[in-house]
Homo-oligomer: A and B are copies of this chain.
């Protein structure tokens, strides 16, 4: 049931100021009046989160894992109401949202398994050396603890997997941090359904009510969340402008806090000569498939192709143009995102040094993305930084280079990226090897002979990358390592056994891997 209230701890809070969601497929308002939080609501949620921080962090890994698993079960229990509301609010198709629901539950279960395995706590013990000369060594033990309350800003483009109960929330809760989720205004009903699922799990496990709160808010009020001294970290997925604003707000606090913002990327794809010669036509069709998937609304959308000019590239472009010419338009997530896409495409279309290679078929709805492929030269690309900026949606730019040496020059001029993709054959490997060191300094994930739009939720994933792809290239927002963003180390020196945290007890009650006197040992 959708009530339109804020969920502040265990309280449902109604407010006079409300907003409605828009169905992007029709432009019509959807049912439901959703409360907008006041400054006091933010303060109340922060106070509850602060009160929950110590008891929630003190849970055993198994207890917190069971809580995460319960959230997954509560999400499943919402049933089809979740899918139909998310479809109406996002314009995304059923199959995509059903898959995304599975991904969301899978993320929660992954972090449950991460908690039980125990490496996240980085248990490190340097036993006392009482006989050491000239000074004895005390007993020193280290573990990682939760940062404290985390503000999570929901993303528009993953209304399930990267919004209220998405990856940021799952990893922060896994770390032992209470979460205050600020829902994305494009899907407030979906957000509320997910928030209620989390709240049911909080209640079922007898956790402090401040473990989780859910707010909708204007940007000004949401900014108070980042400024609140009780909030200790921020998770965000969205635009560069939005992410930069959060970074500045966090840096301006009396106590600066980390912001994990995943912002923008064009995710370069490099087509190498032998690969192009072998399968230019197939690559062209596959490129358009990746570019237009989900109306191109993926963080890892392949916005930029870099390839050597010549007959093989012509074949690629012809195939891409043919695929794009029959590509059906898809609803975009919000009217605002559609408007920004239209503006971005118009700018490329009107650019003197850019050629429009192909467009998708004509839209039939008010906020549909008509796909687009553009072509420009390396020279033009290097001369205009704006050509390297993301156009969020199904628009791609192909930069033609004279050879892979010039490709390296183009790569070196790019800002930080989430991904880089190499299409190679065996004969291309030496040239690819020469580019790898540039790419390793520039991106979070390097793919060979695939497309970047699939982001596996697993242990090895890095969904991150140097600024401005993310605010903090030392981290990932997808995969098991995302938990590390919300932890910090504490060292205990000469504590009697009775005062030591369970995690650090000699008997290893958590059964976790430990580093003892520098040597890693399994449980």
Interface check A16, CB cutoff 8 A: no
* Contact residues in B for A461 (Cβ distance below 8 Å): 126, 140, 142, 491
Do A490 and B444 have beta carbons less than 8 Å apart? yes
Do A247 and B251 have beta carbons less than 8 Å apart? yes
Report the bound CA distance from A494 to B423 in whole Å. Answer: 11
* Contact residues in B for A94 (Cβ distance below 8 Å): none
Interface check A148, CB cutoff 8 A: yes
Interface check A78, CB cutoff 8 A: no
Do A520 and B513 have beta carbons less than 8 Å apart? yes
* Contact residues in B for A450 (Cβ distance below 8 Å): 138, 493-494
Q: Nearest residue in B to A515 (C-beta to C-beta)?
A: B459
Report the bound CA distance from A312 to B59 in whole Å. Answer: 38
Interface check A6, CB cutoff 8 A: no
Contacting residues of chain A (457-515) with chain B, CB-CB under 8 angstroms: 458-462, 464, 466-468, 471-476, 480-481, 487-496, 498-499, 513, 515
Do A466 and B251 have beta carbons less than 8 Å apart? no
CB < 8 Å neighbour of A119 from B258, B416, B490, B520: B520
Interface check A446, CB cutoff 8 A: yes
Range of interface residues on A (Cβ < 8 Å): 35 or more
CB distance from A150 to the nearest CB of B (A): 13
Do A135 and B454 have beta carbons less than 8 Å apart? yes
Report the bound CA distance from A329 to B330 in whole Å. Answer: 78
* Contact residues in B for A240 (Cβ distance below 8 Å): none
Do B496 and A429 have beta carbons less than 8 Å apart? yes
* Contact residues in B for A54 (Cβ distance below 8 Å): 437, 441
Report the bound CA distance from A415 to B429 in whole Å. Answer: 54
Q: Given that A255-B466, A464-B489, A476-B489 are contacting pairs, would A448 and B518 also be in contact in the complex, using a CB cutoff of 8 Å?
A: no
Interface check A456, CB cutoff 8 A: yes
Interface check A92, CB cutoff 8 A: no
Do B445 and A490 have beta carbons less than 8 Å apart? yes
CB distance from A124 to the nearest CB of B (A): 4
Interface check A354, CB cutoff 8 A: no
CB distance from A449 to the nearest CB of B (A): 6
Do B440 and A490 have beta carbons less than 8 Å apart? yes
Do A448 and B499 have beta carbons less than 8 Å apart? yes
Q: Nearest residue in B to A481 (C-beta to C-beta)?
A: B489
Interface check A320, CB cutoff 8 A: no
Report the bound CA distance from A71 to B224 in whole Å. Answer: 49
Contacting residues of chain A (123-152) with chain B, CB-CB under 8 angstroms: 124-126, 135, 137-138, 140-142, 145, 147-148
* Contact residues in B for A456 (Cβ distance below 8 Å): 126, 137-138, 140
Report the bound CA distance from A517 to B480 in whole Å. Answer: 11
Do A126 and B498 have beta carbons less than 8 Å apart? no
Do A492 and B446 have beta carbons less than 8 Å apart? yes
Q: Given that A432-B499, A460-B124, A517-B459 are contacting pairs, would A491 and B444 also be in contact in the complex, using a CB cutoff of 8 Å?
A: yes
CB distance from A192 to the nearest CB of B (A): 29
Interface check A305, CB cutoff 8 A: no
Interface check A223, CB cutoff 8 A: no
CB < 8 Å neighbour of A258 from B142, B432, B474: B474
Do A142 and B518 have beta carbons less than 8 Å apart? no
Do B436 and A499 have beta carbons less than 8 Å apart? yes
Interface check A32, CB cutoff 8 A: no
Report the bound CA distance from A58 to B441 in whole Å. Answer: 12
Interface check A256, CB cutoff 8 A: yes
Q: Given that A466-B255, A480-B518, A522-B522 are contacting pairs, would A447 and B126 also be in contact in the complex, using a CB cutoff of 8 Å?
A: no
The contact sample of 30 A-B pairs, CB cut-off 8 A, is: A58-B437, A125-B460, A126-B458, A137-B458, A138-B456, A140-B458, A140-B461, A142-B459, A145-B440, A147-B473, A147-B474, A248-B251, A429-B496, A429-B498, A436-B499, A440-B490, A443-B490, A444-B491, A446-B493, A447-B493, A448-B494, A448-B496, A449-B494, A450-B494, A458-B518, A459-B515, A464-B488, A474-B487, A475-B489, A476-B491
12 additional A-B residue pairs with CB within 8 Å, beyond A135-B454, A142-B462: A117-B520, A125-B460, A126-B461, A141-B460, A258-B472, A436-B499, A445-B493, A446-B492, A446-B493, A448-B493, A448-B496, A466-B488
Residues of A within 8 A of B (CB): 53-54, 58, 113, 117, 119, 122, 124-126, 135, 137-138, 140-142, 145, 147-148, 247-248, 251, 255-256, 258, 415-416, 429, 432-433, 436-437, 440-441, 443-450, 454, 456, 458-462, 464, 466-468, 471-476, 480-481, 487-496, 498-499, 513, 515, 517-518, 520-522
Q: Which 7 interchain pairs have the tightest Cβ spacing?
A: A462-B491, A140-B460, A142-B460, A447-B493, A445-B491, A54-B437, A124-B460
